[in-house]
Amino acid sequence: MQSDKVKAGSHHIVPIPTLTGRVHLIQGEKGSVLVDALTTRFSRTVLSAVRRSENGQPRRVSLILISHAHIDHFGGALRLREELGAPIAIHELDADDLRRGRNGALHCRNLRESLLKFSVSRMKSQPIEPDIVLRGEEGDLSEWGIEAKWVRTPGHSEGSISVVFPGEVAIVGDLVIGRFGVSRKPAYPFWVKDAGRLRESVKRVLDLSPRVLLSGHGGPFSAEDVKRVFLE
């Protein structure tokens, strides 16, 4: 079922939820960007939601932007590229994991993550060669019809990125996720190599003054709640 749209200036952000996570369709006046792709299991769900949101014209999607190279976020990207005719983009520091079709290094912080790692580390996807490799620390998305910027936000993975509409909304991938059992409360993600670095990434996003943060798992979160959990 499709969630309510979120307004960001002249743009609408449509969350497309599934049982294991969500993608976000950013709709601008000149084009649309799909943030993340889930796994192939949910490709039909995503495509149906995109078609409904795009009034039956999914070719309006100009970019499939992968927030980070974990299979639950990129596994369905090939299918979506075929159906939507849109290129796949990812940051250069996560691009090799996309090409291998495997999750990158998973750094455990507790017993629960250690137990989860056994199954998650065995996941495989069809290797994907990205059409666009993002480099550096930030860039804008106007080329694809969206007046927003992407910023590199490492911590969950080296090449994790977030999409920010300054003063409005941020889409943060797995930089922040919902607390287990209380999905509207922000929490640290699984697989954090350096918690201090992740907090720096959260601060970088919050310094752009979004009111709301949208996540691949849980949320949405108010900026105040995220600040309280990560920075105070």
Cα torsion angle, 49, 175, 160, 42, sign: negative
How many angstroms from the chain centroid is the CA of residue 34? 9
pTM of the complete model? 0.94
Lowest mean pLDDT among 22-26, 104-108, 172-176, 219-223: 104-108
- What's the pLDDT score for residue 1? 38
Higher pLDDT, 1 or 9: 9
CATH number, domain of 161, equals 3.60.15.10
Say what the pLDDT of residue 58 is: 63
Residue 1 covered by a domain:
no
pLDDT of 19 > 80? The answer is yes
* Cα Rg, the chain, nearest whole Å: 16
Q: Has residue 21 been placed in a domain?
A: yes
Contact between residue 164 and residue 201 where contact means Cβ atoms under 8 Å apart: no
How many helical (H) and strand (E) elements, i.e. helices and strands, does the chain have? 7, 15
Banded model confidence at residue 121, pLDDT cuts 50, 70, 90 = confident
Range of the domain at 17: 6-102+110-231
The yes-or-no verdict on residue 73 having pLDDT over 70 is yes
Total count of domains within the chain = 1
CA dist., res. 221 & res. 214, Å (int): 7
pLDDT above 50 (res 2): no
Q: Once rounded to an integer, what is the mean pLDDT over residues 84-101?
A: 96
Average pLDDT over residues 73-79: 96
Percent of the chain surpassing pLDDT 90: 79
In a domain, 200, yes or no: yes
When pLDDT is averaged across residues 40-55 and rounded to a whole number, the result is: 92
The two three-digit tokens of residue 122, written as one number? 């065995």
